[in-house]
């Protein structure tokens, strides 16, 4: 994140040094035929898999059977630069063991490396704002890892900008 900010934003850069982000792999599996999964979602500890969900069980997604497998952040960090085929094989093996099914038989497989998926150590402030430089930054990395954190960060920055505009009027 620091590399993205110009030097004019320098007084705000110090807080960014404390922000730590973690990666994740997402593996989407598609099946032409229904697969009898033992559950619709599972949070997992102590495995390369951190989360699994039958994506097609969500409302409005009933057209084809799909399963989403997300790696744990710790496992992803250790394997972020590994060959994608090895990552896919490891996640398929772990997920198949967890589900008690051979998920490798999926008709469609798509792996995505998500380098900045989680924020174990957020900024701890809702946004950065350098009034003198006229620059601001917000995002999930300010308050946490979820979309709600990104939304809250953006709302608080918008409120600060509106106050700034009102003060100048």
Q: What percent of the chain has pLDDT over 70?
A: 92
Domains of the chain: 2-19+122-168 (no CATH), 21-120 (3.90.660.10)
108 or 169, which is more confident: 108
31-42: pLDDT as tens digits = 998 888 888 999
Tell me if 131 sits within 8 A of 54, measured CB to CB. Answer: no
> What is residue 16's three-state secondary structure?
helix
Residues sharing a CB contact under 8 Å with residue 61, sequence separation 6 or more, in sequence order: 55
Predicted TM-score (pTM) of this structure: 0.81
């Amino acid at each position: 994140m620091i590399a993205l900010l110009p030097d004019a934003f320098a007084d705000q850069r110090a807080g960014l040094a404390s922000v730590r982000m973690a990666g994740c792999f997402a593996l989407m599996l598609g099946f032409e035929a229904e697969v009898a999964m033992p559950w619709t979602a599972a949070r997992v500890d102590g495995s390369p898999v951190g989360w699994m969900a039958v994506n097609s069980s969500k409302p409005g997604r009933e057209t084809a059977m799909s399963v989403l497998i997300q790696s744990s952040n710790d496992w992803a960090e250790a394997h972020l630069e590994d060959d994608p085929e090895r990552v896919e094989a490891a996640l398929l093996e772990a997920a198949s063991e967890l589900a008690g099914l051979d998920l490798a038989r999926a008709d469609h497989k798509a792996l995505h490396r998500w380098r900045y998926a989680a924020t174990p150590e957020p900024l701890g402030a809702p946004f950065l704002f350098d009034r003198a430089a006229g620059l601001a930054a917000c995002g999930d990395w300010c308050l946490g890892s979820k979309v709600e954190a990104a939304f809250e960060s953006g709302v608080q920055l918008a409120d600060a900008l509106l106050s700034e505009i009102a003060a100048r009027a």
